[in-house]
Amino acid sequence: MIHVIAIITAKPGMRDQILEQFRANMPAVHAEQGCIEYGPAIDAEGMGKIQTSFGPDTFVVVEKWESKQALAAHAAAPHMAAYAAKTKEMIASRVIHVLEPAG
């Protein structure tokens, strides 16, 4: 299994617009072969000192894929290119961590 944590930071005030495009793309991603989990997450409210917040312009995409090949196919999917084109000008930064379970 492959885990992906993608940290997306929008240009100020644009997170909701990116999330709208992200959610519109989710059904196509969920239909991909090998997709186990794929969804956005934002800071939980009221967690106090135990939390290090990402802030109001950032969301995290939590993904699980059956294999490296499934993730590679996802990255090359036409709907991902279309999503990237729609959101490119709204994104300030994007950091992607691809992980595998520690044996």
Per the confidence metrics, is the pTM higher than 0.75?
yes
Nearest-CA neighbor of 79 among 35, 22, 41?
A: 22
Task: Identify the CATH assignment for 2-43+53-99 out of 3.10.105.10, 3.40.640.10, 3.90.660.10, 3.30.70.100.
Answer: 3.30.70.100
DSSP states along 7-75? EEEESTT-HHHHHHHHHHHHHHHHTSTTEEEEEEE-PPTT-GGG-----TTEEEEEEEES-HHHHHHHH
Give the Cα separation of 52 and 1 in Å (integer): 27
What value does the mean pLDDT of the chain take? 97
User: What residue has token string 């009221």?
Assistant: 46
Q: Residue 103: its pLDDT value, please?
A: 86
Residue spans per domain, the chain: 2-43+53-99
Backbone angles phi, psi at 10, to 5 degrees: -80, 160
55-93 residue pLDDT tens: 999 999 999 999 999 999 999 999 999 999 999 999 999
24-58 residue pLDDT tens: 999 999 999 999 999 999 999 999 899 999 999 99
